[in-house]
Amino acid sequence: MADESTHTRQDSPLDGIDAGGDHPKLALGIDLGGTNIQAGVITERGQVLGRAKVKTDVESGFEAIMDSIASAARQACEEAKVPMSAIHTAGLGVPGPIDPEKGVVIEAVNLRWNDAPVVMGLSDRLSVPVYADNDVNVAVYGEWRAGIGNETPNMLGVWVGTGVGGGLIINSQLHRGAHYSAGEIGHMILLPGAHLGSRSVEHNCSRTAIAHELIKLIRSNHPSLVTSLTDGKLHKIKSKVLAMAYEQGDDLVRTVVDDSADRLGMAIASAVTLLSLDQVVLGGGLVHAIGEPYVDLVRDSVRREVFPESLRNVSVEASMLGDDAGMVGAGLIAFEELWK
């Protein structure tokens, strides 16, 4: 960790930034994933003053991962040239359902965690109040406050990758609901007539679902560029492979991806209708890999299916913050919770 005393008030990059009073308010925003930990020093307006990225060593266990997060946080402060003492709070996004009151991750499959006391673990190490929430919730919050959302009162965020996650802003607040699980659009029923285990949005529209469908079709002799792009290792169908095949006009990939985008749009239309929403933001690996063509298809489907007609101008756009959404949102939501 850098010697904090070497940074004086005079040469601080904070001068003039968000300095409402004598002491600019800063938060750490941390996005904990199964592969990487991203940490950033975040201003009240969602600017990133410094950042760090370290690998998540899932094998190392809970305490070691907490240490890695604290270390990434210190690196981000160093990059931002601010002392840890300038940090008022820290926000953490985790890949799993959380009990925010207890500060405990109920389950995180990627990390092999159950009932993990992340708030205590991290506040002990950083000596600031810590707020933890689901990773998609914080990303949607970040996008709403500092990205595409423009703080419109009601917004749905849908993140498409390995799974399909979501978050809801209602009346200018992150809506958590009775069991802190609100926004889970991936678990809405898409096909009531399908078998249990293949009915939900996630079962039909995630990158995993698209890959399964492609593998099934390729194995029944439908040709696709995906075979050569993965050297025949079809279990390696990731978002980038799909995006490459899509861009090169691969018929099979286009059919499967377009169909899934259309279906996702129908589920989003149901949510937009139910909540009378005028803003939807799309994020996650698949959305950013394929980009505009995917977003256009989802938007067309949403607008075709919403009720009433006045909702047909609903905005459906890709996330502006991309990979930073979770980190920025974690910092911003920590401020929000601190000032409640």
Per CB under 8 A, residues contacting its own copies are 97, 153-154, 166, 168, 170-171, 173, 175-185, 187-193, 199-200, 263, 266-267, 269-271, 273-278, 305, 307-308, 310-311
Considering the complex, state which of residue 176 and residue 288 has its C-beta at the smaller distance from its own copies.
176
CB of 262 to its own copies, least distance (A): 8
CB of 275 to its own copies, least distance (A): 5
- Give the C-alpha separation, 324 to 55, whole Å: 16
CB of 96 to its own copies, least distance (A): 11
CB of 269 to its own copies, least distance (A): 6
> What is the dihedral angle through the alpha carbons of 152, 167, 51, 294, rounded to the nearest 10 degrees?
-90
DSSP assignment string, 56-110: --GGG-HHHHHHHHHHHHHHHHHHHT--GGGEEEEEEEESS-EETTTTEEEEETT
**In whole angstroms, how far apart are CA 5 and each of 9, 76, 223?**
10, 17, 63
C-alpha atoms less than 13 angstroms from C-alpha of 91 in its C-beta half-sphere? 32
Considering the complex, state which of residue 172 and residue 228 has its C-beta at the smaller distance from its own copies.
172
CB of 211 to its own copies, least distance (A): 21
Considering the complex, state which of residue 50 and residue 95 has its C-beta at the smaller distance from its own copies.
95
- Give the C-alpha separation, 37 to 92, whole Å: 10
DSSP assignment string, 127-172: -S-EEEEEHHHHHHHHHHHHSTTTT-S-EEEEEESSSEEEEEEETT
CB of 312 to its own copies, least distance (A): 10
Considering the complex, state which of residue 185 and residue 325 has its C-beta at the smaller distance from its own copies.
185
Considering the complex, state which of residue 5 and residue 196 has its C-beta at the smaller distance from its own copies.
196
Considering the complex, state which of residue 152 and residue 227 has its C-beta at the smaller distance from its own copies.
152
